[in-house]
Amino acid sequence: MARMNCPAPLEVIYKNTRFFITHNPTNVTLNKFIEELKKYGISTIVRVCEATSDTTFVEKEGIHVLHWPFDDGVPPSNQSVNNWLDLVKIKFCKQPGCCIAVQCVACFESPPHRAFNSKELLYLGKYHPKMQLHFKDSDGHRNNCCIQ
């Protein structure tokens, strides 16, 4: 089995929302990649980078792949942001505690790893939340989450 030669994925957890930021696998590392996705219970991947592997095998494992790429260093389009917000709302309202994977190549290739560049920081600084996600935690308490 091929060994994945990349930084470890990053799991981000906030209350009942879970995100898994990961690399973009090649066909050679795909089996190990699918294993990792299953370990975290991921059923949806949002690919925001250029494809480097065939999604057929991933989808045969019951993992849905959405391809919403945008260039590194520039903000996503309004349509991509709206698609993302719709996905997050649907997934976390219907399946609290589920995990959405985001497949990105740039954050793993740029030195230092996982760093924002100035254009990305400017975009985030000017961004205004478009929605709030309301959900109940495991104790039945209502929580709000601002979705960027």
Question: Which residue in the list 6, 72, 98, 145 is annotated as catalytic?
Answer: 72
Alpha helices in 11-145 (DSSP H): 30-39, 56-60, 78-94, 106-109, 118-126
Query: What pLDDT was estimated at residue 46?
Result: 94
Q: Cα 90 vs. chain centroid, distance in angstroms?
A: 15
What does the pLDDT look like over 48-82, one tens digit per residue?
A: 888 888 889 999 999 999 999 888 777 888 899 89
Q: Which CATH code of 3.90.226.10, 3.40.50.150, 3.90.190.10, 3.30.365.10 fits the domain covering 10-147?
A: 3.90.190.10
Q: Where are the domains of the chain?
A: 10-147
Confirm whether 104 is a catalytic residue: yes
Query: What pLDDT was estimated at residue 108?
Result: 47
Question: Which residue in the list 49, 99, 104, 107 is annotated as catalytic?
Answer: 104
Query: What pLDDT was estimated at residue 146?
Result: 46
Query: Phi and psi for 88 in degrees, rounded to 5?
Result: -60, -45
Q: Enter the tokens of residue 43.
A: 């059923």
Contact 88, 19 (CB under 8 A): no
Confirm whether 86 is a catalytic residue: no
pTM over the 0.75 mark: no
- How high is the mean pLDDT in each 10-residue block of the chain (148 residues)? 57 86 86 92 90 89 92 84 91 89 66 62 74 61 52
Query: Phi and psi for 38 in degrees, rounded to 5?
Result: -65, -35
Query: What pLDDT was estimated at residue 147?
Result: 46
Query: What pLDDT was estimated at residue 131?
Result: 65
Query: What pLDDT was estimated at residue 1?
Result: 38
